[in-house]
Amino acid sequence: MMTLLARVLALLLMAAPTLALAEEPLNVQVPDVPLVDQHGRQVRLWSDLVRGQTVAINFIFTRCKTICSPMTATLARVQKELGAGGPPVRFISITLDVNNDTPERLGQFAQRFSPGPGWSFLTGEPDKVKEALVALGGYTPDKEAHRPLVLVGNATAGRWLRVDGLGSASSILDAIREVRAASAPPAELDVDSPSARDASAARYFTNTELVDQHGKTHRFYEDLIRGRKVLINFAFTSCKGVCSPMTKHLAEVQRKLGGRVGKDITMITLSVDPTNDSPESLARFTKKFGVGPGWYFLTGSRENISLVLKKLGGYTDDPNAHSSTLLIGDAATGMWVKAPAMSFVDNLVYAVEHLNDPR
């Protein structure tokens, strides 16, 4: 006979599938080929430019009449927005037209975008350039038909993402922050050990900084998720739909869980409207529903909030179309389920308390 726990979790899992925590990584092997930059200096792609760095790489040619200029302009905005804060990011643009693109022509092309230090525009011997392009996924026999690809990577962690170079600067910034936050676990670490699971969870959730309703800054994984069970939902304060009844409903869940919230259980509500949801407006919103300690309503910069929302499947361009899903999880065990946030209170409480029970 099916136990009560099994029936509850079966109902929750039928409502929505298990949360996937893994992303398929790109397997990128950067060759250490000799190339020449826009200043005429010979550099080695791996050992001089990529090794130990976070990098953003695109593929252009100077006579391009379509996507190369707008794509390079977007990368220039990204470099400017990154500024001098945080670990450096190296920018690399590799020509698709070695027969025409001399270092001098690449230098003239680069000047139009006022690139800062740490941006190399590369050409070289045709076979060496082709080897680099093939390895990085930028090669095409017809340069006029090349894709607007930006390859973003953390060479130390081996974490690589492909981003649309004609998209927004913020999407490239999100990818840079994601790979920059990655860190490879020690090679000798047992992948099934608690330390390995913790390292994997830290890489996935990231320590992106967000701000709660009291104006306090938190690192998302280390301060709010590590070592606890968590309940995570999505809302915004000017919502005219589900947000108020959902928050009222989850406040009842908090009361049922009692003093464990704030100790071994954390509740998190992520704003899907960080432009308008300040800590002050979040504080006023929480006061209406009697939100207690241990429940964090989080906002922050659009880039930071967007990164976390995308990790959790809660990102939306339209706040009014946001998800009303509740995520229930334990990063220590890797057990995660989704449920409608308006499920019966007792079912949600039971699912939290018995999340790690044997099935």
Answer whether residue 86 shows pLDDT above 90: no
Asked whether the beta carbons of 179 and 159 are under 8 A apart, the reply is yes
Answer whether residue 4 shows pLDDT above 80: no
CA distances 168 to 5, 162, 163, 173, 174, Å, are 45, 14, 10, 9, 10
Answer whether residue 240 shows pLDDT above 70: yes
Answer whether residue 1 shows pLDDT above 50: no
Q: Over pLDDT 70: what percentage of the chain? A: 87
pLDDT digits (tens, 9 = 90+) for 98-122: 999 999 999 999 999 999 888 999 9
CATH numbers and ranges of domains, the chain: 4-22+195-353 (3.40.30.10), 34-181 (3.40.30.10)
Answer whether residue 238 shows pLDDT above 80: yes
Q: Both tokens of residue 307? A: 């990164």
Per-residue pLDDT, averaged over 272-280, amounts to: 96
Strands (E), the chain: 34-36, 42-44, 54-60, 89-95, 119-122, 149-154, 159-164, 209-211, 217-219, 229-235, 265-271, 295-298, 325-330, 335-340
pLDDT for position 84: 58
Per-residue pLDDT, averaged over 221-238, amounts to: 94
Answer whether residue 51 shows pLDDT above 80: yes
Q: Which of 27-31, 76-80, 241-245, 264-268 is the least confident region?
A: 27-31
Three-state secondary structure along 238-292?
CCCCCHHHHHHHHHHHHHHHHHHECCCEEEEEEECCCCCCCHHHHHHHHHHCCCC
pLDDT for position 157: 79
Closest CA to 359 of 333, 341, 332, 340: 333
Angle at which helices 243-257 and 279-288 pack, to 10 degrees? 70
Distance of alpha carbon 115 from alpha carbon 195, whole angstroms: 41
Answer whether residue 322 shows pLDDT above 90: yes
- Is the model's pTM score more than 0.85? no
pLDDT digits (tens, 9 = 90+) for 190-212: 555 666 677 778 878 888 899 99
Per-residue pLDDT, averaged over 57-72, amounts to: 95
Asked whether the beta carbons of 129 and 94 are under 8 A apart, the reply is yes
Closest CA to 210 of 125, 136, 306, 144: 306
